[in-house]
Structure 1
Amino acid sequence: MALARLGVNVILLKYGTTSQEIDETMKKYRCNALIYQLSAGQEDPYQLRQDSTDPASYEQHVIFITLGDVTSSSHEVHRYCDLARCEVSEEEKARVLALQTKIQMEDALLAFMTSGSTGNPKAVQVNHFQFVQATLTAYAAHRLTDSSRLFNNRPFSWVGAMGMAINVAAVCGVTHISIDSRASAKDSEVDAVINVIAEEKCTHAYLSPYILYDLVTSTGDVTRQDLRALRYVLSGGEPLPESLPARMFTKIPHVTFVQLYGSTESMVVLSQASSPQDLHDGLFGCMFGCPHVEVKVSAEDGSLVPIGEVGEVCVRGPMVFLGYLNEPSKTALAITPSRWYLTGDLGVMGAGGRVRIVGRDSEKMFIKHATVKVFPAEIELTLSRNPAIQQVCVVGIRDERLFEEICACVVRAGEDSAKAASEEDFLSALRSWCSERFPPGPDGFSLAPKYFLVVGEIPKLSTGKIDRAAVKRQATSVFNP
């Protein structure tokens, strides 16, 4: 935020980015400087090459910030405590104020790096106006007020944390409570997370899907914590199984569950506040557009598809990004001349304008015969309702006769594993369960997965989203090597 007030265009790198990826990103976007946080006692992790032919090379402007001392570094190092005590001269203050008067709402502010789930990561550029508008939209989608206390466990470099948690504090006055995201990634730490939410009297908890799972499967007694202040539990970033909020309501029945949908390019644009009754009525995952957001579901030629049919979800509004930094050709493919952002996600618009996401365009599977399209999210939604399944990812396996067959990669739920049921018995019961829920269609073929692969963990990208390409490679190596 301090850099933003100086008019600096900042590229936020993803948590866990390697030194090689940093090097490539800095040079691709011709950055002038790198600011990086080091852990106490950590040595300088980057052996950055000095480019003597480029006097503006970023390697000459590397600054490390740390809580403690750095063992060794050839670059400039500052400690947080020293920066906090740093005295600023009146001359420097005047220079900063002069810079701030020159900043316009249309000036570039931030560039978020995408996850790379649809190809190489891209830098999503937003200006001051778009970022403030996205923050105000998130404020409404989160059901926040100026007296809210919002807990967030996501890394600050993620758009879900920076755009939808931190800045509602900076722009809207909401109190923001956070913890080290690396600690919350351990399933054994869920009790500590709940303790923080209770002790800080948080009214809203913005939790990653894996934290939700840890919460509902925890053997600890959540009811012993004083969670009376907690009114909303929010999550998003990937399709959520209906079983998560259903099991959450059994432990914290007084809260409302808010499902959020968005992307790095648009931030949050759809949301749904769910109660147990919504789950009973089959409305979970059917979201409304957020304030100031236009939503449509389109065919490949840009025309609207009929209500109830699958098409690409497109959104438009003041929060949609400027474009991909230094990549005009990719920008032109993502944003139409009339400023509709083509999300690449497939959805269905139902009665009353509710939109249900059914998958990504790149995840389409043509199964049984070339005219039938099966979307992974639809199969995953059904499978996620099986109490013996913790997580599932559906991919296509090449088949000479039918083009592709359906394969479900599943992680068994902890409760089921505790029963020590053999994998053979588990799969037999699962196939029987599927036969009842996936009856043959008009063409005589069932949509029940032909293949099941039981895994201990489903591969994830650095953002926490499922790495479907890795899952597909893993399944193919087993069933169609």
Structure 2
Amino acid sequence: MTGATPATEDRLAGRLWLKSYPAGIPAEIAPLEHTSVAGLFEESCRKFASKTAFICMGKTMTYAELDRESAKVAAWLQARGHVKGDRIAVMLPNVLQYPVVTMGILQAGLTVVNVNPLYTPRELEYQLKDSGATGIFVLENFARTVQQVITKTQLKTVVVGTMGDMLGLKGHIVNFVVRTVKKLVPEWSLPGHVPFKSLMASTGDFKRLDLGLDDVAFLQYTGGTTGVSKGAVLTNRNVLSNAAQSQIWLTAAYKMQGADTSNILYVCPLPLYHIFALTVNMVMGMSEGAANLLIPNPRDIPGFVKELGKYKVNFFPGLNTLFNALANNEDFKKLDFSALMLTVAGGMACQRAVADKWEAATGNVILEGYGLSETSPVAAVNPPGSTVFSGTIGLPIPSTEFDIRDDDGRTVPLGQVGEICIRGPQVMAGYWNRPEETASVMTPDGYFRSGDMGFMDDRGFIKIVDRKKDMILVSGFNVYPNEVEEVAATHPGVLEAAAIGVPDERTGEAVKLFIVRKDPALTAEAIKEFCAQGLTNYKRPHLVEFRDSLPKTNVGKILRKELRG
């Protein structure tokens, strides 16, 4: 290791965080049982054939049905001339078509390129051209976006579906409401496209290919919140390893609660095209024969709460903004959470104020985790059985190593802030067609430089302090926006908070705080006085601006970049 001392190497070899693992959690995952994600899915469909795999808008799909429908997709794609390694874009929200299409693409030996359905034409054109996708599955709601860019891409196969395609007779009603009542389908024209229902009426068998651990399963594009979006190349090994790593944690949680694991229900409010839901909900969920309750529009909080009231959810993955919105909803607080065994936060920092509200509403302690598209995504999480919200991202998961390094690549002492670097089987193969970008984030000894700043304590727990690029420099002192936001969020009159750095003649930069009020009477002066109680002078907000809402990505991350203008 570059610049590392023998003592440092000894510490890493010993992986001090293993001492903090609950009993029964191994340091390493077992050898992988499958050579492809498609193979895992196929075995799950056979093993759990009669069990429910996915639920959406009241319609259930068993594992046997998923197997049958996805095989049609695989056979059709091969018949269209798509060959192993071709990239196929999936531009779908959380509807039953998503698991069917994704499993079918993988079974055909192709690579899934997940696309945010809410992309603008510019964003879609960039991703389709960068990935070289030759096919796309899209919902009619977003077909107009494809229409606007298709002539600039390599697309030769376009499949267009509807919200109601897999909902049986109810689907006709859903489509009528979506098209006519809510007017959610802009006019579009894609000559030569194939309706999803026509594809599903086709016959034929697909040819099973020899798929290996190093074959590419997904091109998972980074959010692009800090620069140009890049395709993280995730192999079968990456995704299968991460599902196995996460499963160890989940199994330990079940055992601690003496849970009946014969019928586990996950809620899936995060979009499956996002790496968190893709791996944790779909891949890991299917590996254990769980059912996933798909939520097509989690921003409709009243509708989401109404749906939750119909089921006894056992596992709730989500992120800070979603937990915050739910915990502030009075109807949500009235739900029965007796079956809820595990709540895991990822995607962004979870604030203590939000965790406290969640625990008060559900009786469940949020276990905060950490990961990135480049790590498939899970790299660290708090131990199952935690009785208090730790404010950290927890411990590296099995077969994963963390090292905190300075700008010169040297390991920093415990407790000192540096860049979080990660090594493990879930770390991507690189960025798609970007060798220079790959080289800039991968160290010679195989660590991925995350761009996140944090420190490790003497028990192996890691605390994120912020993104490297979001750091604010006030009179030579580093100010981490998460810390300012965490303090502001504890004010009872604050619903959401975001901090950025703005130019200041006296200090170079000053902290500006954006607030969404819960209490309409809340003033800027009151916020400043409140923050002064918890933050040293240079960290306090110099400017406060009230907004009705904060800009977010489709999965709920606050876009500081847009606030900076």
* TM-score, length of structure 2 as denominator length: 0.71
Specify which of 368, 372, 389 is matched with residue 494 of structure 2.
389
Equivalent residue number for residue 160 of structure 2: 64
Equivalent residue number for residue 28 of structure 1: 130
CA-CA distance at 1:274 after TM superposition:
8.1
User: Structure 2: how far apart are the matches of 1:47 and 1:438?
Assistant: 49
Deviation larger for 453-462 or 71-80: 71-80
User: Structure 2: how far apart are the matches of 1:44 and 1:449?
Assistant: 40
Given that residues 44 and 72 in structure 1 are in contact (C-alpha distance below 8 angstroms), is that contact kept between their aligned partners in structure 2? Answer: no
Structure 1 residue 216 corresponds to structure 2 residue 356: no
The one-letter code sitting in structure 1 at the alignment partner of 2:365 is T
Taking structure 1 as reference, are residues 49 and 465 closer, same or farther at Cα in structure 2, changes over 3 Å only?
A: closer
Specify which of 217, 224, 236 is matched with residue 128 of structure 1.
236
Equivalent residue number for residue 15 of structure 1: 117
CA-CA distance at 1:71 after TM superposition:
7.7
Deviations 1:160-208 (A, max 9, x none): 111221111333322222121x2x202333421431xxx3322111234
User: Structure 1: how far apart are the matches of 2:524 and 2:194?
Assistant: 55
The one-letter code sitting in structure 1 at the alignment partner of 2:295 is I
Taking structure 1 as reference, are residues 450 and 208 closer, same or farther at Cα in structure 2, changes over 3 Å only?
A: same
Taking structure 1 as reference, are residues 61 and 299 closer, same or farther at Cα in structure 2, changes over 3 Å only?
A: same
Gaps spanning 5+ residues in structure 1: where? Answer: 52-56, 440-444, 474-481
Equivalent residue number for residue 155 of structure 1: 271
Cα-Cα RMSD: 2.5
Structure 1 residue 305 corresponds to structure 2 residue 415: no
Given that residues 278 and 284 in structure 1 are in contact (C-alpha distance below 8 angstroms), is that contact kept between their aligned partners in structure 2? Answer: no
Taking structure 1 as reference, are residues 138 and 37 closer, same or farther at Cα in structure 2, changes over 3 Å only?
A: farther
Equivalent residue number for residue 477 of structure 1: none
Matches within 5 A, 1:43-58: 46-48=147-149, 50=151, 58=154
User: Structure 1: how far apart are the matches of 2:113 and 2:465?
Assistant: 31
Taking structure 1 as reference, are residues 75 and 203 closer, same or farther at Cα in structure 2, changes over 3 Å only?
A: same
SS at the partner of 1:352?
coil
Structure 1 residue 78 corresponds to structure 2 residue 195: yes
Taking structure 1 as reference, are residues 331 and 237 closer, same or farther at Cα in structure 2, changes over 3 Å only?
A: same
Equivalent residue number for residue 262 of structure 1: 371
The one-letter code sitting in structure 2 at the alignment partner of 1:31 is A
Matches within 5 A, 1:197-346: 199-220=310-331, 222-223=333-334, 225-253=335-363, 255-266=364-375, 267-273=377-383, 278-279=388-389, 283-346=390-453
User: Structure 1: how far apart are the matches of 2:130 and 2:491?
Assistant: 46
Equivalent residue number for residue 531 of structure 2: 434
Given that residues 257 and 275 in structure 1 are in contact (C-alpha distance below 8 angstroms), is that contact kept between their aligned partners in structure 2? Answer: no
Equivalent residue number for residue 63 of structure 2: none
Deviations 1:143-174 (A, max 9, x none): 56654321111111111111221111333322
User: Structure 2: how far apart are the matches of 1:314 and 1:167?
Assistant: 25
Specify which of 529, 545, 548 is matched with residue 453 of structure 1.
545
Equivalent residue number for residue 284 of structure 2: 168
User: Structure 1: how far apart are the matches of 2:515 and 2:133?
Assistant: 42
Given that residues 441 and 449 in structure 2 are in contact (C-alpha distance below 8 angstroms), is that contact kept between their aligned partners in structure 1? Answer: yes
Taking structure 1 as reference, are residues 250 and 274 closer, same or farther at Cα in structure 2, changes over 3 Å only?
A: farther
User: Structure 1: how far apart are the matches of 2:299 and 2:230?
Assistant: 26
The one-letter code sitting in structure 2 at the alignment partner of 1:19 is P
Question: How many pairs does the alignment contain?
Answer: 433
User: Structure 2: how far apart are the matches of 1:393 and 1:156?
Assistant: 26
Query: What's the % identity of the aligned pairs?
Result: 20
Given that residues 10 and 110 in structure 1 are in contact (C-alpha distance below 8 angstroms), is that contact kept between their aligned partners in structure 2? Answer: yes
User: Structure 2: how far apart are the matches of 1:278 and 1:39?
Assistant: 43
SS at the partner of 1:457?
coil
Taking structure 1 as reference, are residues 10 and 191 closer, same or farther at Cα in structure 2, changes over 3 Å only?
A: closer
Taking structure 1 as reference, are residues 162 and 286 closer, same or farther at Cα in structure 2, changes over 3 Å only?
A: closer
CA-CA distance at 1:44 after TM superposition:
8.2
User: Structure 2: how far apart are the matches of 1:75 and 1:141?
Assistant: 47
User: Structure 2: how far apart are the matches of 1:142 and 1:460?
Assistant: 29
User: Structure 2: how far apart are the matches of 1:463 and 1:291?
Assistant: 27
SS at the partner of 1:358?
strand
SS at the partner of 2:527?
helix
Given that residues 36 and 65 in structure 1 are in contact (C-alpha distance below 8 angstroms), is that contact kept between their aligned partners in structure 2? Answer: yes
CA-CA distance at 1:471 after TM superposition:
1.0
The one-letter code sitting in structure 1 at the alignment partner of 2:524 is L
Specify which of 498, 504, 516 is matched with residue 399 of structure 1.
504
Taking structure 1 as reference, are residues 19 and 306 closer, same or farther at Cα in structure 2, changes over 3 Å only?
A: same
The one-letter code sitting in structure 1 at the alignment partner of 2:211 is I
SS at the partner of 2:306?
helix
CA-CA distance at 1:227 after TM superposition:
2.5
SS at the partner of 2:160?
strand
Gaps spanning 5+ residues in structure 2: where? Answer: 1-102, 166-171, 176-186, 255-260
Taking structure 1 as reference, are residues 20 and 432 closer, same or farther at Cα in structure 2, changes over 3 Å only?
A: closer
Equivalent residue number for residue 301 of structure 2: 187
Structure 1 residue 37 corresponds to structure 2 residue 136: no
Taking structure 1 as reference, are residues 380 and 48 closer, same or farther at Cα in structure 2, changes over 3 Å only?
A: closer
User: Structure 2: how far apart are the matches of 1:383 and 1:325?
Assistant: 39
User: Structure 1: how far apart are the matches of 2:487 and 2:451?
Assistant: 23
The one-letter code sitting in structure 2 at the alignment partner of 1:133 is S
Equivalent residue number for residue 562 of structure 2: 470
Equivalent residue number for residue 478 of structure 1: none
User: Structure 2: how far apart are the matches of 1:381 and 1:58?
Assistant: 45
User: Structure 2: how far apart are the matches of 1:380 and 1:44?
Assistant: 36
Specify which of 138, 146, 161 is matched with residue 246 of structure 2.
138
Given that residues 497 and 515 in structure 2 are in contact (C-alpha distance below 8 angstroms), is that contact kept between their aligned partners in structure 1? Answer: yes
Equivalent residue number for residue 349 of structure 1: 456
Taking structure 1 as reference, are residues 4 and 49 closer, same or farther at Cα in structure 2, changes over 3 Å only?
A: closer
Given that residues 367 and 386 in structure 2 are in contact (C-alpha distance below 8 angstroms), is that contact kept between their aligned partners in structure 1? Answer: no
* Structure ranking higher on relative contact order (CA contacts 8 Å, 6+ apart): 2
CA-CA distance at 1:19 after TM superposition:
3.1
SS at the partner of 2:499?
strand
Taking structure 1 as reference, are residues 44 and 19 closer, same or farther at Cα in structure 2, changes over 3 Å only?
A: closer
Structure 1 residue 112 corresponds to structure 2 residue 214: no
